[in-house]
Amino acid sequence: MLRAVLFLLLSVSPLVSQTFDFDILITGGRIVDGGGNPWFLGDVGIKGDTIVYVGPTTNRTARKTLSARGLMVVPGFIDTHSHGRRGVFEVPTAENQIRQGVTTIIEGPDGSSPYPLKPFLDRFAKVPATTNFGLMVGQGTIREQVIGLKDRKATLEEIDRMKGMVRQAMLDGAFGLSTGLFYLPGAFTPTEEVVALAKVAGDMGGVYTSHMRNEAAASLEAVKETIQIGELSGIPVQVTHHKIIGRANWGMSKDTMGLVEAARARGIDVTVDQYPYTASSTGLAALFPKWALESGQKAFLERAAAPQQRAKMRMEIATAIEVDRGAGDPKNVVMASCVSDRSLAGKTLADVTRAKGREVNFQNAAETAIELQEKGGCSCVYHAIAEEDIERILKFPFTMIASDGGIPFFGVDVPHPRSYGTFARVLGVYVRERKVIGLEDAIRKMTSLPASRFRIMDRGLLRPGMKADVAVFDAAKVIDKADFVSPHQYAEGFVHVLVNGTPVLEEAKMLEARPGRALYGPGYQK
């Protein structure tokens, strides 16, 4: 009788609870582990924020089970070139990233970053966000703080000060040094000055990424300089968002990639990243000669008001429209957003020129560009890249995928679609439809390759002990929906996404969880 009573009490007692093997079990998927290995059928088990099981289908128990039957299970993607700080605090959901499987973004590219880094990273660590977030330190940002937008060499004292700033940024958690040698003030920086700063970052375990001085007719010289910086400083280098701009230059990627291959063969650590679109996006100022922009907007306005300087400026801009980013026609320059007039978003430089009552030609389009820049400028999309070059760069074994996008305000302006579609486009168009690369290689380019490059050693692979950043998608349906006319469209095909072991997308629906973390580079000291 007593034994029966005890059995009854134990069977209903709230103190007795089931013990689970996993917190989450992702079952029955085709696992692509991120290392370039062939997929296999199996399960992924997670405890807390960590992967604890990757292997054949198991009967072990879990608090929560996510079905991946008929789907691909992969590590969360790492976007190594992001402008996400523009929206990470205002749009912490980062739905545009999550819906294409991105769980980690690296910010601070093109020589531009917050400085100092610590306040920004401290703020991010306190504000719930969906994705993980890391920073590069921008050489341009540092130079501007020390020298301004001046076209001159730094003094030895100034170089020492900038080296100290790089060192502090690395201690604060930077993953390395970025340059935008196409932009101001990077364009005014001699190679030897970059080498001095890159050596500091390299000695502390960092990587060097560069928006090169030129991505058009002088691309070969720019790649050579990037390689030289790595060779002289001893830092791993990355040619970021590699592309060939301008119709006359199409096909040059054969030579630029040949330079990278030759450098690697002689022991220089060079890699590449790219986005899969035939258009770039940057400011309208990209059409302008650097001398016109030196010292900032006030100085530019003074030059633009001087008839001889304006005429010279107009001639050089017209040439850029004809042979560089304009690819031979003002209609190839499209306004993404303009400070002075939001209604111009989506209109081409040809449209705006025509609306001003001018015949559409290179000189008149250049004059229109000057007038827009006088009013604060625009962000533009430039249709000037060939598919041939995209595919050649993508096939290179050491090319990784990076959006060069951000976290946009949904429905605002007409931005480049890369913010919404980069990773899904590679999987849907270049893997499934065109078969330019294989699925396992594409996943490697989005996961373990960038993780190893930026020394994010606990992510990028589905392995026990790694952080549980995981994406699950339908390889038959994954596709980018965003295009240049209607860019505010989320990618399709991703079913589940987990960040640090927490689901943020489940059954293709966004959840409220914000498990993203600030990530810190190899030189970080608390």
Tell me: cis bond preceding 464? Omega within 30 of 0 counts: no
Determine, yes or no, domain membership for 163: yes
Sorted by sequence, the CB contacts under 8 Å of residue 382 that are 6+ apart come out as 245, 279, 280, 281, 282, 286, 325, 326, 327, 332, 333, 334
Q: Are residues 98 and 149 in the same domain?
A: yes
Q: Are residues 317 and 239 in the same domain?
A: no
For 184-209, the pLDDT digits (tens) are 999 999 999 999 999 999 999 999 99
Determine, yes or no, domain membership for 405: yes
Average pLDDT over residues 145-157: 98
Determine, yes or no, domain membership for 12: no
Rounded to whole angstroms, the Cα distance separating 196 from 161 reads 11
**Residue from 165, 149, 159, 170 nearest 192 by CA:** 159
For 105-116, the pLDDT digits (tens) are 999 999 999 999
Determine, yes or no, domain membership for 335: yes
Determine, yes or no, domain membership for 192: yes
pLDDT band at 18 (very low <50, low <70, confident <90, very high): confident
pLDDT band at 4 (very low <50, low <70, confident <90, very high): very low
Determine, yes or no, domain membership for 482: no
Q: Are residues 225 and 84 in the same domain?
A: yes
- Evaluate whether 402 touches 81 at the Cβ level (below 8 Å): yes
Q: Are residues 221 and 301 in the same domain?
A: no
Q: Are residues 265 and 334 in the same domain?
A: no
pLDDT of residue 8: 44
- Evaluate whether 447 touches 466 at the Cβ level (below 8 Å): no
Judge residue 59's burial from the number of C-beta atoms within 10 Å of its C-beta, 0-12 exposed, 13-18 middle, 19 or more buried.
exposed
Determine, yes or no, domain membership for 161: yes
Q: Are residues 398 and 295 in the same domain?
A: no
Q: Are residues 297 and 233 in the same domain?
A: no
Q: Domain boundary at 351, 366, 382, which?
A: 382
Rounded to whole angstroms, the Cα distance separating 402 from 272 reads 10
Q: Are residues 377 and 391 in the same domain?
A: no
Give the whole-number percent of the chain exceeding pLDDT 70: 97
Q: Are residues 179 and 290 in the same domain?
A: no
- CATH code (residue 423): 3.20.20.140
Q: Give the total number of structural domains in the chain.
A: 2
Given a cut of 70, whether residue 518 has pLDDT beyond it is yes
Q: Are residues 241 and 319 in the same domain?
A: no
The torsion angle over the Cα atoms of residues 224, 230, 236 and 238, rounded to 10 degrees, is: -30
Rounded to whole angstroms, the Cα distance separating 15 from 11 reads 10
Given a cut of 60, whether residue 15 has pLDDT beyond it is no
- The reported pTM is 0.95
Determine, yes or no, domain membership for 503: no
For 113-130, the pLDDT digits (tens) are 999 999 999 999 998 999
343: containing domain? 282-382
Given a cut of 60, whether residue 389 has pLDDT beyond it is yes
Q: Are residues 108 and 226 in the same domain?
A: yes
The token duo for 278 is 């035939």
Q: Domain boundary at 335, 354, 382, which?
A: 382
Q: Domain boundary at 446, 471, 500, which?
A: 446
Mean pLDDT score of the chain: 96
**Beta-sheet pairing, 132-135 with 509-510:** unpaired
End-to-end CA distance of the chain: 63
Q: Are residues 134 and 228 in the same domain?
A: yes
